[in-house]
Amino acid sequence: MPWLHTALNYIALSLLRIFKFVPYALTIRIGYALGWLAAHLPSERKHVVKTNLRLCFPNLNSAQLNALALEHWMLFGRSVMERSRVWLGSAEQLLSMVDIQSEINLGDKKPRLMIIPHFVGLEVGFMALSAQSSQNGWPGGAGLYQKMKDPFFNQKMVEWRNRFGGKSIERQNKLLEVIREIRSGNLVLIAPDIDLGPKDSIFVPFFGIMTNTITAVSRIAKISGAEVCMMTTTLNSDRSKYICAISSPLENFPTDSVEEDTARLNRHIEEEVKKRPAEYYWVHKRFKYRPPGEPSLYRSWS
């Protein structure tokens, strides 16, 4: 029923607008509660989280895996509730949630690629950088995104992410547009740790598992001459806010080997995940596609 779908979209939009005004501390508590609930309800994503954790941390026993999964769900729930501020809040609201710590001059217009691993704080880090760039007159950020199935929220997402002068670029067949953005001095952000299928991807290790990984970072960096920096957004020590840490450029990157470059990025991301495993985006089927002849790692959860 199309009318029902439309009504639900507008209800969801109204809830986002309401929670923009809810005190941040209360938003966090509600997010933790929703995450706790999600962790205790049967769902396919609950099975995906457990499978990912079991594959990546084989030394943990069942109780440890369950505790880690619960912590992840609570942090994931928090991040979902925070999106009311992330997508609709003011620059001041965003920057009160994040401290940006950069080892590079963000306003020097050097051609750069920013690698943003899928931690639960990814969205708030990207938007805070966009807001700060707007305030300081720095080049705008351009982020690649996967088109949503729902046209209503796909359009809204693009509007919200671009409201501080940023630019959202569809992943599909937009290589030339990405190159233009880099060469114009804009920061281009790519999250390569997502399984998008076999096209333009290769299997390289991630937590010791051969993992389907896009090769775009190596190829784009070589064509554009861009520096490649890591940009990781994670919670601070007391979890009162996030830290968006931007590294100095990776040395000797890219090389002549796309495979080695792609494997190297996976190693960097793996090192960060090990420091704060509960914050990584385990709800995604990171190991969805397998090398030819290998069975699925995500067997039916029902």
Asked if the structure places residue 292 within a domain, the reply is no
Asked if the structure places residue 301 within a domain, the reply is no
Indicate the angle between helix axes 2-19 and 151-161, nearest 10 degrees.
30
Give the pLDDT band of residue 165 (cuts 50, 70, 90): confident
Q: What is the mean pLDDT of residues 159-182?
A: 84
Instruction: Identify whether the C-beta of residue 246 lies closer than 8 Å to the C-beta of residue 101.
Output: yes
Asked if the structure places residue 40 within a domain, the reply is yes
Beta-carbon contacts of 3 under 8 Å, excluding residues fewer than 6 positions away, are none
Indicate the angle between helix axes 258-275 and 216-224, nearest 10 degrees.
120
Paired tokens of 77:
């729930």
Asked if the structure places residue 207 within a domain, the reply is yes
Q: What is the pLDDT of residue 151?
A: 81
- The SS3 call for residue 78 is helix
Q: What is the pLDDT of residue 302?
A: 45
pLDDT in tens, 176-202: 888 899 998 888 999 999 998 988 999
Q: What is the pLDDT of residue 4?
A: 56
Asked if the structure places residue 79 within a domain, the reply is yes
Asked if the structure places residue 286 within a domain, the reply is no
pLDDT in tens, 126-135: 999 999 999 9
Asked if the structure places residue 256 within a domain, the reply is yes
Instruction: Identify whether the C-beta of residue 260 lies closer than 8 Å to the C-beta of residue 170.
Output: no
Alpha-carbon span 70 to 39, nearest angstrom: 6
* Number of Cβ atoms within 10 Å of the Cβ of 228: 23
Q: What is the mean pLDDT of residues 90-105?
A: 96
Instruction: Identify whether the C-beta of residue 185 lies closer than 8 Å to the C-beta of residue 109.
Output: yes
Asked if the structure places residue 240 within a domain, the reply is yes
Alpha-carbon span 209 to 219, nearest angstrom: 23
Give the pLDDT band of residue 206 (cuts 50, 70, 90): very high
- The SS3 call for residue 282 is coil
The C-alpha angle with vertex 195 and arms to 191 and 200, in degrees rounded to 5, equals: 85
List Cβ<8 Å contacts ≥24 apart for 44-52.
Answer: 44/301, 45/283, 46/73, 46/301, 47/298, 47/301, 48/282, 48/283, 48/284, 48/285, 48/298, 48/301, 49/73, 49/282, 49/283, 51/297, 51/298, 52/282, 52/285, 52/286, 52/287
How many domains does one find in the chain?
1
Q: Which domain holds residue 196?
A: 2-279
Q: What is the pLDDT of residue 160?
A: 86
In this predicted structure, the answer to whether residue 77 has a pLDDT above a threshold of 90 is yes
Q: What are the Cα distances from residue 16, in Å, to 13, 37, 88, 89, 231?
A: 5, 20, 8, 10, 27
pLDDT in tens, 207-263: 999 999 999 999 999 999 999 999 999 999 999 999 999 999 999 999 999 999 999
pLDDT in tens, 9-36: 667 778 788 888 899 999 999 999 999 9
Helices (H) and strands (E) in the chain, counts: 10, 9
Paired tokens of 199:
């096209």
Q: What is the mean pLDDT of residues 147-153?
A: 78
Indicate the angle between helix axes 122-136 and 62-88, nearest 10 degrees.
30
- The SS3 call for residue 144 is strand
